[in-house]
Amino acid sequence: MSPSMREMRCAIHPSSQLRAPVCDIREFGLDAFTFEILEVLETTSEMTSRQIEQDLEALESLSRERLSGTALYA
């Protein structure tokens, strides 16, 4: 189990975007939710942390556009 999933099971997460579903997780349990990988960022050893962060932000923005109108927690 990844650290993030472990933290979610404990209903604790440092990300403000992941705090919103905590009440529902507490009420319904983690197994009531489906988690899906939407994109995988290909990185290289030459990429800086900032470049990776910017690319992740761009992928998130594209995913949110593609899923607009869909119920999201963020």
Q: Cβ contacts of residue 8 below 8 Å, gap of 6+?
A: 18, 25, 30
Per-residue pLDDT at 1 exceeds 70: no
**DSSP 8-state symbol, 72:** -
How far apart CA 65 and CA 68 sit, in angstroms, is 5
Query: What integer pLDDT is reported at residue 26 of this predicted model?
Result: 77
Can you give the pTM of this predicted structure?
0.56
Residue 10 pLDDT greater than 80, yes or no: no
The model's confidence at residue 71, banded by pLDDT at 50, 70 and 90, is low
12-66 per-position pLDDT tens digit? 556 666 666 777 787 888 898 888 888 899 999 999 999 999 999 999 888 888 8
